[in-house]
Amino acid sequence: MTSTEVLFRPFRIGSMELANRIVMAPMTRSFAPTGIPGPAHAAYYRRRAEGGAGLILSEGTVIDRPASRNDPGIPFFYGEQPLAGWKGVIEAVHKAGGRMGPQLWHTGGVKSFLTDWVPDVEVESPSALDAPGLARGKAMNDADIAETIAAFAKAAADAKRLGFDTIELHGAHGYLIDQFFWSGTNLRSDRYGGATIRERSRFAAELVAAVRASVGPGFPIILRISQWKPQDYGARIAETPDLMADWLQPLVDVGVDVLHCSQRRFWEPEFPEIDGVEGLTSPAGPKN
C-alpha cells in the first residue's frame, strides 16, 4: 500500500472515527475580538470539512483564567456566548461530515509577537518569565495552579458536551504548559519544579488526569508538544529518547491518547543517531 493510500484510509481512536488521516493543524486567526466565535468561524471550519480534512483542530482557544490570552482576537472556550458560538461551529462541521476538536490554551507569561496588547490583569506563569531571563508577570501559586487545572478540565467537559469529537491541550511552543516543562522557564523549587523533566511534567500530568476525569474514558485527548520554542528555536526538552520517555510516558499513563509533535524542521529526524537516516534536505525550508 502506498503512503497516499494509507492517508485516505479511515482511522479510529477511542470514540472518534475519522474518514481519513488528514488533520488540519491548529492555527491562531485572531478574528474574535469579543472572544465569541460567530457564523464566520462556523463557515471557515465548515469549508475545511467540506474540503475533506478527516480531523480539524481549532485555532488555540483559551480557558477561563484571567490573562489566559495574549492577543485580543483569540476566542474564549468558556462563557455562555462563546460556547454557543462553538456549538454553531461543531454543528456546521458535523453537517459537512467532518470531525473536530478545540485546541485548549493558556498563553502563560508569553507576550504576543503580533500585538502590543496586554490583558488588564497580570500575566501568570511558572516562574514569572516570558523566556529564560526575561521577567514578565507573576509566578503562579498553588491556588492559581489548581484553578488553572480546573479550568482546563471544565473546558474539556464543555467541548464534549457541545458535541466535539476530541480536545487538544496546547502543551507546545513555549506557552503555559510548556513553560512548566522547560527548565529555562520553570525555576520552581516546589512540587511543580525540579531538576528532572519528570518533576517538571507534574503540572501537565495533574492537568491531563483532571481532563481525563472530566471527559471520562474513550474520549480522545491529544497533547501538542514541541522541543523548540519561539523563545529559542534550538531549545530541547529531551536530549535523549530516555528523557523523552521520562517526559511523555507519565502523561500517556494518565490519559493522553495522541502526542501531536510540532517539529518545525520536519525534514530532520529528532534523534538521527538512532533513526539511522539522513535528514531530507529542504533548501526552501526555514533557516532557523
Ligand X SMILES: Cc1cc2nc3c(=O)[nH]c(=O)nc-3n(C[C@H](O)[C@H](O)[C@H](O)COP(=O)(O)O)c2cc1C
Question: For 278, which DSSP code?
Answer: P
Residue of 16, 59, 110, 186 that binds ligand X (CB under 6 A): 59
**26 touches ligand X by CB under 6 A:** yes
Size of the site for ligand X (CB under 6 A): 13
Binding mask 68-107 for ligand X (x = CB under 6 A): -----------------------------------x----
Return the range that interacts with ligand X (CB under 6 A); candidates 168-176, 230-238, 244-252, 271-279: 168-176
Contact predicate 151/65, CB 8 Å: yes
What cell does 112 get?
504576543
Burial 180-219 (b: 16+ CB within 10 A, else e): bbbebbbebeeebbbeebebbbbbbbbbbbbbbebbeeeb
Rg value, the chain, Cα: 19
Return the range that interacts with ligand X (CB under 6 A); candidates 89-97, 147-155, 169-177, 246-254: 169-177
192 is a catalytic site residue: no
| CB nearer ligand X, residue 112 or residue 262 | 262
Contact predicate 251/210, CB 8 Å: no
Contact predicate 258/221, CB 8 Å: yes
Q: Is 121 helix (H, G, I), strand (E, B) or coil?
A: coil
* Per annotation, catalytic residue among 44, 45, 78, 175: 175
Q: What angle do CA 149, 12, 154 make, to 5 degrees?
A: 20
Residue of 6, 7, 25, 187 that binds ligand X (CB under 6 A): 25
Return the range that interacts with ligand X (CB under 6 A); candidates 3-11, 23-31, 94-102, 143-151: 23-31
**172 touches ligand X by CB under 6 A:** yes
Residue of 37, 60, 85, 98 that binds ligand X (CB under 6 A): 60
**Catalytic annotation, residues:** 175
Binding site for ligand X (CB under 6 A): 25-28, 59-60, 103, 170, 172-173, 224, 262, 266
